[in-house]
Structure 1
Amino acid sequence: MKQRIKQAVDLFNEGYSCSQAIVAAFADNFNLDRNTALKIASGLGGGVGRTGDMCGAVTGAVLVLGLQFGTTDPKDKTAKFETYKKVQLFIQEFKQQAGSLICRELLGFDFNTPEGIIRSKQPGAFEHCPEFVQIAAQILESMLEQSKTDR
């Protein structure tokens, strides 16, 4: 397993959220310090604020894609739409590999129900999350490597 992918999984296993694990594992690519990366992604875990919506590994990856391909010029429509294309490619690939983009669907329970709250506190509730972090990190790693060869 490539270093960045392993690092993302290790960070998740240390207790960081899925989004934090992804952004922090790729932060040094962008001269972003680890603490800033962890803070930027801190509200995205658990399907964005533990709502069970978009998987945090996906939202973290979208942040990384923005760092890599994004623009700071509001008039640069080409760069804007190229970034959107990269995000769409990532999302398509993640959904194909993981089966969904939605945290509650991936986990099999909803944080917003009494049953889901109980389930989230049980051992093994998040046992598949390292797999989703790994999938996101692998896709990102591939896309970032591809962008180097495209230059």
Structure 2
Amino acid sequence: MLELSQQGLNCSQMIVAMGLETLGQVNPDLVQAMAGLGGGVGFTGKACGAMTGGACLLSLYAAGLTPHDAIDAQLRSMEMAEELVRWFEQQFGQEYGGTNCQQILGAAFEKRTPQPACADIVSNTYSKVQEIAEQHKLDLTGDAHD
């Protein structure tokens, strides 16, 4: 994760990059597309990028599970994202007074650089995404995503 941060990736980009690595894939366009979620969506301080990136990664995982039924994949994605957000609110929302980037980082938000709290949040969120995916029996080998 330190390597990803040193590459200048934000929290949402790191989550998706780690997920792609788990799948054995490289997709720089997808990682770049996640840039807009950084800093709480375009550095507006809104929803934490680790949380939104985690929801996107769960959707990517679900897409590989049901390639012939897009509606099922979408419903599964929403269900898993809801589970992730509930966990995120309990895990970090209470500690930081909310789940927005600006609430989590406080005055450090203005620096627009990853803070120590970010590494912990990204790591824990990625672990939770993996746990949710496994609970939902999603294939994380990458075979269904090729």
- Shorter-normalised TM range: 0.7 to 0.9
Q: TM-score, normalised by structure 2?
A: 0.74
CA deviation vs aligned residue, 1:122-147 (integer Å, no higher than 9, x gap): xx872211111112111111112223
Segments of 4+ in structure 1 off by > 6 A?
A: none
Aligned residue among 86, 93, 108 for 2:80: 86
Alignment TM-score, normalising by the size of structure 1: 0.72
Q: Among the aligned pairs, what percent are the same residue?
A: 30
1:72–1:49 distance in 2 versus 1, CA, 3 Å: farther
Q: Deviations over 1:53-106 (max 9, x none)?
A: 011111111111111124777x86544333211100001111111123210111
Q: Kindly indicate whether the alpha-carbon contact (under 8 Å) linking 1:52 and 1:110 is maintained by their aligned counterparts in 2.
A: no
- Unmatched runs of 5 consecutive residues or more in structure 2: 140-146
Q: Structure 2 counterpart of 1:88, which letter? A: E
Aligned counterpart, 2:105: 107
Counterparts of 2:3 and 2:12 in 1: how far apart (Å)?
A: 13
Pairing partner for 1:127 from 105, 113, 116: 116
Residue of structure 1 equivalent to 2:131: 142
Number of equivalences: 133
Q: Show structure 1 runs of 5+ residues with no match.
A: 1-6, 112-116
Match of 1:48 in 2: 41
Larger Rg: 1
Alpha-carbon contact 1:61-1:136 (below 8 Å) kept = yes
Match of 1:61 in 2: 54
